[in-house]
Structure 1
Amino acid sequence: MRPTVTPCEDFNAEEDAKALKKAFKGFGTDEDAVIEIITKRSNEQRREIATVYKTMYGKDLVKDLRSELRGHFEDVIVALMLEPVEFQAKELHRAVSGLGTDELSIVEILGVHDNDEVVAISNAYEGLYQTSLESDIKGDTSGTLKRLLVGLSTGRRDESCDVNEEAAVKDAQALLQAGELLFAGTEESVFNSVLCQRARCQLRLIFDAYNNLVGHPIEKAIKNEFSGTVKDALLQLIECVRDRTSYLATRLHDSMAGIGTDDRTLIRIVVSRSEKDLEDIKEVYYEKYGKSLAERIADEEEVPSDVKKVLMQLLL
């Protein structure tokens, strides 16, 4: 996994705190100074700056940033300042709050993280909102979709590295009997159980076994047996399991496809993967779409120029 953002070697939290305070003085804010500091530090260093800032000036840096900045520029800078699990918890809350539910963002956040990360995010969610992530998912969704998302939110996926071909064939047969071979309807619980609990490496073996049994990929079965948001969620989850890096590259591409831009998804993925595997995602993006991710973002007219500056710095 290759990040694009690494800790600053000549880091001085006190000097950075002074520079940020200076950027807030006078009419308007020196946005370039804010961008230069925030994007060139690791998340741990940014939070150290916030601690020193409070000691020096008696003020909360994130609150000062919120008061100085606006719109999606505020969103991306604040996202960079938050502890990663807190940021993901806030993104999940946004996905289940308000009108409608952003099911695909929920699948993305819960699908790309490992068990310990999902549990940490769930704990952060409960600490922030005094209610559990599971209860909010249950209150905002229903039926098969609710059971799928709740299953992902538990953080109970098998994470062993061992694979078992015989078990993979049995699971593939169970999926076949619960779906395409079932005379009427679909036993959704079998799909949820396998997709939410089996190890990622084992699932890839199960997908291969399914294809060998019926002569077509499991995605075709999902399209035949499910519809609407459940179908979309399952297809996204399978894509994520097959290749997380490729899946995130696709999510970035889709966030800028068509009319308008899904700014939240674009910001979330670039910010959250910048210290993990954004360099890998950039490489796969270019291979899939024939254009660099930086070029694609630069061409996106719907993305504000100040947000572009931040994202470009994170992509370097």
Structure 2
Amino acid sequence: MSYPGYPPSGYPAFPGYPPTGQESVFPPAGQYSYPAVPGGFPPMGGSEYNAAPPTGEFPGIAGYPTAPGGYPPAPSGYAGVPQPGGMPTYPGGAGFGVPPTSSGFGYPQPQAQTYGGGGSVQIPAGYPGGQTPSTPLQPAAVTQSMQGTIRPALNFDAGRDAEILRKAMKGFGTDEQAIIDVVANRSSDQRQQIKAAFKTMYGKDLIKDLKSELSGNMEELILALFMPRTYYDAWSLRHAMKGAGTQENVLIEILCTRTNHEIREIVRCYKNEFGRDIEHDVRADTSGHFERLLVSMCQGNRDENQTVDYQKAQQDAQRLYQAGEGKLGTDESCFNMILASRSFPQLKATVEAYSQIANRDLLSSIGREFSGNVERGLKTILQCALNRPAFFADRLYHAMKGAGTDDSTLVRIIVTRSEMDLVQIKQLFTQMYQKTLATMISSDTSGDYRRLLLAITGQ
């Protein structure tokens, strides 16, 4: 039995298929049915699917093993399912097909999706930062699960790492490369263990020792790496509002992009570490519609139901149109209410519905109806709903574009996304700007600072 549309067009033949000596077991090339294989199918890989085929049949496929919820597993589990004869694995996740149903096998099919979900799609004008790439945006990764460039080190020994750092700072001069080799290859949790081991072994504070040995951007980057992520976000927000002036872009970047859980943890940490109420500080340092948007963000109460209500998306799109393009003046509270409370998948559906109603992109409409910080805040929310890694790729590009470098933004994004989605950010950066993130970092930074940034990004 073959499956319409699978494999996707562009894969007419698969090298090494059928496997040599097993032509009688596997169908001829060009026929994509899935036979029962002695020893179980798939022939290698995942747990319960490695046993002999159960007596039950997957709908329409004799001998194909069934699993809870059907086979393949739920959408997040598509990636990594072995394919016979070297057949490529197709990524799972948003934008790559639908879960199995009784009407068909449901193997992931690349589909046209907005902002890098799958297939080839153009980013409309105004996203991100008014940039439209000259080439279509392709799927960001082989798998659509988010992936960091830093992962926990195997065979980790906090005491051994503490000793390496002690030797690197002891005596005349500093062995910066030894420091880079440790901190760029340990997870945030492992760095906290190193910090604790250092104090236990030497009775000294590792952070104070590092500060005495380093300076400038290298010092800022190292210290950021040794801060737990929640503390680093809270610390960044405090410094953005401390003293004269306010760094509004920092407030937007953090408060408009984090999940409910992350925001609640930041609010708690901000109170515990600095003895201050973050909402009070936001109100004191901002005003008007921008203040109200950030106060909404501080609540950490966005709907996080991943199920999309398309009727509500149509209604919200109509309300946004009537609150902006469809009337003289702008009803700012309507934009605030919808963009601050709807889930990101729901907002993505609203963006698509809006373009049909208004014959204009919602990001462009916000640019026409708003200005300044509130415009940037609303656009950030939508950009994260559409493609969060693309938003951070854009932020990194503009931190290095032109004369001078916004090192604080560069450090903050590289550090906070290094264990989350920096792999996707790097890939989207290349697609959006036709140059690699490593190339821009190399041209905009120097010395140990450059080497550590490149090490974190996996270069």
Q: Which residue of 2 aligns with 1:188?
A: 332
Deviation of the 1:27 alpha carbon: 2.1
- Please show how residues 194-213 of structure 1 align to structure 2 within 5 Å: 194-213=338-357
Q: Which residue of 1 aligns with 2:58?
A: none
Distance 1:52 1:220 in 2: 52
Specify the code of the residue in structure 2 equivalent to 1:98. G
Contact 1:6 1:41 in 2 (8 A): yes
User: What SS is found at the alignment partner of 1:243?
Assistant: helix
Distance 2:356 2:244 in 1: 42
Q: Which residue of 2 aligns with 1:45?
A: 190
Residues 97-143 of structure 1 show CA distances to partners (whole Å, capped at 9, x for unaligned) of 23332222222212222110111111111112111111111100000
Aligned match of 2:246 in 97, 101, 110? 101
Aligned match of 1:244 in 376, 388, 391? 388
Find out whether 1:279 has 2:423 as its counterpart: yes
Deviation of the 1:285 alpha carbon: 0.8
Distance 1:14 1:231 in 2: 49
Find out whether 1:60 has 2:202 as its counterpart: no
User: What SS is found at the alignment partner of 2:256?
Assistant: helix
Deviation of the 1:194 alpha carbon: 0.6
Distance 1:223 1:2 in 2: 32
Q: Which residue of 1 aligns with 2:261?
A: 116
Q: Which residue of 2 aligns with 1:76?
A: 221
Distance 2:452 2:369 in 1: 42
Q: Which moved more, 1:207-216 or 1:100-109?
A: 100-109
Residues 187-216 of structure 1 show CA distances to partners (whole Å, capped at 9, x for unaligned) of 211111111110000001111111111100
Q: Which residue of 1 aligns with 2:375?
A: 231
User: What SS is found at the alignment partner of 1:112?
Assistant: coil
Contact 1:104 1:236 in 2 (8 A): no
User: What SS is found at the alignment partner of 1:240?
Assistant: helix
Deviation of the 1:229 alpha carbon: 2.1
Distance 1:265 1:291 in 2: 19
Deviation of the 1:240 alpha carbon: 2.1
Distance 1:292 1:205 in 2: 31
Contact 1:207 1:217 in 2 (8 A): yes
Deviation of the 1:250 alpha carbon: 0.5
Structure 1 unaligned regions, length at least 5: none
CA RMSD of aligned residues (A): 1.3
Contact 1:17 1:53 in 2 (8 A): yes
Deviation of the 1:266 alpha carbon: 0.6
Distance 1:220 1:272 in 2: 29
Q: Which residue of 2 aligns with 1:291?
A: 435
Residues 224-259 of structure 1 show CA distances to partners (whole Å, capped at 9, x for unaligned) of 211222222222322222110111111110100122
Contact 1:103 1:233 in 2 (8 A): no
Q: Which residue of 1 aligns with 2:299?
A: 154
Q: Which residue of 2 aligns with 1:36?
A: 181
Q: For this pair of structures, how many residues does the alignment match?
A: 313
Q: Which has the larger radius of gyration?
A: 2
Specify the code of the residue in structure 1 equivalent to 2:437. L
Distance 1:257 1:235 in 2: 20
Distance 1:38 1:228 in 2: 38
Residues 68-123 of structure 1 show CA distances to partners (whole Å, capped at 9, x for unaligned) of 21111111101111111001111111222233322222222122221101111111
Distance 2:180 2:251 in 1: 29
Contact 1:108 1:237 in 2 (8 A): no
Higher helix share goes to which structure?
1
Distance 1:293 1:100 in 2: 31
Contact 2:293 2:336 in 1 (8 A): yes
Distance 1:258 1:239 in 2: 23
Q: Which residue of 2 aligns with 1:14?
A: 159
> What is the TM-score normalised by the length of structure 1?
0.96
Contact 1:89 1:121 in 2 (8 A): yes
Deviation of the 1:274 alpha carbon: 0.9
Structure 2 unaligned regions, length at least 5: 1-145
4+ runs deviating over 6 angstroms = none
Aligned match of 2:366 in 222, 226, 231? 222
| Structure of greater relative contact order (alpha carbons < 8 Å, 6+ residues apart) | 1
Find out whether 1:171 has 2:324 as its counterpart: no
Specify the code of the residue in structure 1 equivalent to 2:241. V
Distance 1:297 1:103 in 2: 24
Find out whether 1:268 has 2:268 as its counterpart: no
